[in-house]
Structure 1
Amino acid sequence: MLPLRAIFPGKRVALRAPRVSDAPRIVEIRTRSREFLRAWVPVPGPDEFDVDLARARILRDRRDIRADRHYRFCMTLGEDGPVIGRVALTQVFRGIFQNASLGYWVDVEHHGQGFTTEGVTLALDVAFREIGLHRVQAAISPHNAASLAVARKCGLRDEGRAARYLQIDGAWQDHLLLAVTAEDWPAAPR
């Protein structure tokens, strides 16, 4: 189990569990980035735009980490900098599957600067080294060139197309399925 105080640093960003004090910043980012993210993320719930509801969501996120169900990390500039996005390993399955789903988003002000690629790389390292998963998969809209580029740069391979996979912006949309396993992870111990 990951300690809630753990910080996973990279060169420019770090991942850590969300803190209740992050709620105003997350709401600010999601509000500012709403139009930018609309075509790529499921319809956001009210907890994305209301600070009190965001605080409650963060408390649930922290419980989920302790329960090994979901790992919704904050991506920060450096170890002590502001939150600039989220990277999540959700729907953790144990037993014979040892799998999680990968999702990520970044503040529109930090888009296209390589921060997301670094954050996803850190999350995959945590998935395989710290959490002990065998497989991480992502479902990405075929029109989301930026997210597809991040996933592929991070070593996820194309595995197929799922028809009407997720409801995005009010419509059921096809998604490409990508995945990486522990054996393929470049940072995996040999």
Structure 2
Amino acid sequence: MVFLEGNRCYLRTLEEADVSAFTRLVKRNKRYWSIYEPLHDDEYYTESTQRKKIIESVQRMRLNREYSFAIFAMGTSDLVGHISIYSIKRLPFSSAFVGYSIDKRYIGQGIASEALALIVKFSFEDLSMHRIEAYVSPNNMGSVRVLEKSGFEREGLLRKLLYINGYWEDHYLYAFINDDY
């Protein structure tokens, strides 16, 4: 288990015991999150599916391929989001992607920015990553601000990258290089 602590939130790698709380988070934000990511079929929002996803993430963590964290509001056991460092590639790339989702009830409280800062620190200092990348919809101004505030730089526009709810959507590519950390 990996534990990372900030001022507004703390992160802990997801484990199977989180399945009920995590499934409630995913269900509660089904429509909100589907604005910028694909809406899944009903089976996705079940404990069975989320348990499988958590077990797979734990297996990938053991192989140093992914670290999936639950985000908790500081001083509580309230699971308020999820953040992952994934698709970890070693040399010659030494890179990974980061992705995150915050409960709509906690948007605008600085939790996403702090969680991302904790992941950047962990990625560069503990995993020795050289580059962290993120995709973001140009329409997701909140997430664009989080990335830019955290030191990520926009490197380009990836045209029609992701199929979301019936449409191919453009995404920006952002990156944070260890040299700039």
Shorter-chain TM band: over 0.9
Q: Given the alignment of the two structures, is residue 50 of structure 1 paired with residue 49 of structure 2, yes or no?
A: no
Query: Where does residue 30 of structure 2 map in the other structure?
Result: 34
- Please give the alpha-carbon distance, in whole angstroms, between the structure 2 residues aligned to 1:183 and 1:61: 28
Q: How does 1:143-182 map to 2 (within 5 A)?
A: 143-182=139-178
Shift of 1:51: 0.8
* Structure 1 consecutive aligned stretches of length 4 or more whose deviation exceeds 6 Å: none
Write out aligned runs for 1:118-129 (5 A): 118-129=114-125
Deviation at 1:103, TM superposition (A): 0.6
TM-score by length of 2: 0.94
- Counterpart among 68, 72, 76 of residue 76 in structure 1: 72
**Under a length normalisation based on structure 1, what TM-score does the superposition of the two structures give?**
0.90
User: CA shift at 1:48, angstroms?
Assistant: 4.2
Q: Percent identity?
A: 26
- CA distance change for structure 1 residues 43 and 69 in 2, over 3 Å: closer, same or farther? farther
Q: CA deviation at 1:45?
A: 6.0
Output the CA distance in 2 between the equivalents of 1:153 and 1:47.
36
Q: Which moved more, 1:133-142 or 1:41-50?
A: 41-50
Deviation (angstroms), 1:123: 0.6
The Cα shift of 1:79 comes to 6.9
Q: Unaligned 5+ residue runs, structure 1? A: 186-190
* Pairwise CA RMSD: 1.5
- Any stretches of 5+ residues in structure 2 without a counterpart? none
Which one is further off, 34-43 or 97-106? 34-43
Aligned partners of 1:92 and 1:98 also within 8 Å? yes
Name the CA distance, whole Å, in 2 between partners of 1:82 and 1:20.
Answer: 16
How many residues are matched? 181
Tell me what 1:188 maps to: none
Following the alignment from structure 1 to structure 2, what is the Cα–Cα distance between the partners of residues 165 and 67? 28
